[in-house]
Amino acid sequence: MQANLVAVAADNQPNLQATNEYAELKRQILALGLMKRQPGYYAAKFAITGGLLAIGLYALAYSGSDAWIRLAEAAFLAFVFVQIGLLAHDLSHQQIVGAGRWNVTAGLILGNLLMGVSRAWWRDNHDTHHAHPNDLAHDPNVNIIFLGCTAEQALSRPRWVQWVIRHQVALIVPIFCLEFFSMHYQSIVYAFHGKRGTVRGEHVVLLVHYALYGTLLYVTLGIGGGLIFALVHHLLTGLYMSRPAGRPDLRWAQLPDRASSVSDDAQKQLEPSSATRTRLLRGARHQLHRNRRSPIMA
Ligand SMILES: [Zn+2]
């Protein structure tokens, strides 16, 4: 019995050490005041983002019918939407205001009304990610339908999805482009089922967003032009929210806290033998190393 306890204690030693290191790091960060709210920064960021949104909407309403100008407007509004999303992320982390009515109201405006993304869904999804980072069983950021993080995860997907996963490196850009559609879908399901954290009227504010967005595009571009604009705007927003793996030099926005594309211990992993190689995934053509650029997008 005592021997068992000693063995358990020895097993838990690394966890204990990691916890102590985390506590010490947190203490130092708090002591340096790095977790203090910065009202000046957020006031400026709100003003700039609001101004950019107004410019984008004004241009949408009053620019001509030139397709290239419309494309530029879609790209510009994709940029603005991601800035709104980053504000919503920080709000959810209580970096702008603490939990309470103001936080909920601002979340409904930034998330539901302006972006069509449920604040309650986002919060539940993102909190789960922070509680279980890179945990394949729980972290939603490593459970993306068209991306296989492990062979087992890939094999658990439908056959046609497995084809996509087999080509996920080549298809990474179009996969990322779908991110914003996925956020809308998950938001609608979450809000309409009144899941954890939803407030009264959460789904109504989402509907108001879609009604306003659709009306604005219909009035300015008609049905055909509006649908094309919405498609391009959503594809670009999803792409900008995500970040193509292996191209850190592009400095594109990243989904907040998305896991690194290459695991910390990638170099320590053993080369799979041909006997253990799965049926689904081909063997790696190149070994990936952290801190070294790889032609992963090629
Ligand atoms: Zn976060």
Q: How far is the CA of 91 from the centre of ligand 1 (A)?
A: 10
Which value, to the nearest 10 degrees, does the dihedral of the CA atoms of residues 69, 71, 76, 79 take? -170
pTM of the prediction?
0.74
Q: What are 45-49's contacts with CB under 8 Å, separation 24+?
A: 45/83, 45/87, 46/87, 48/83, 49/80, 49/83, 49/84, 49/87
Determine the distance separating the centroid of ligand 1 and the alpha carbon of 139, expressed in angstroms. Answer: 13
CA distance 88 to 32: 25
What is the pLDDT tens value at each position of the chain, 298 positions in all? 455 545 545 555 667 777 888 899 989 999 998 889 999 999 999 999 999 999 999 999 998 788 999 999 999 999 999 999 999 999 999 999 999 999 999 999 999 999 999 999 999 999 999 889 888 889 998 888 899 999 999 999 999 999 999 999 999 999 999 999 999 999 999 999 999 999 999 999 999 999 999 999 999 999 999 999 999 999 999 999 986 544 443 333 334 444 333 344 444 444 444 433 444 444 444 445 555 554 443 3
Report in angstroms the alpha-carbon separations of 181 from 16, 58, 85, 184, 189.
41, 25, 14, 5, 13
Per the listing, tokens 């929210």 go with 241
CA of 116 to the centre of ligand 1 (A): 19
Distance 127 CA to ligand 1 centre (A): 8
Neighbours of 267 (CB within 10 A): 11
Amino acid at site 163: W
User: Would you report the helix, strand and coil content of the chain in percent, each value rounded to 5?
Assistant: 65, 0, 35
List Cα–Cα distances, 78 to 144, 204, 238, 239, 254, in angstroms.
21, 23, 8, 9, 14
Rounded to the nearest whole angstrom, what is the distance from the C-alpha of residue 83 to the centroid of ligand 1? 15
What is the CA(63)–ligand 1 centre distance, in A?
37
How high is the pLDDT of residue 192? 94
Amino acid making up residue 43: A
How far does the centroid of ligand 1 lie from the alpha carbon of residue 211, in Å?
29
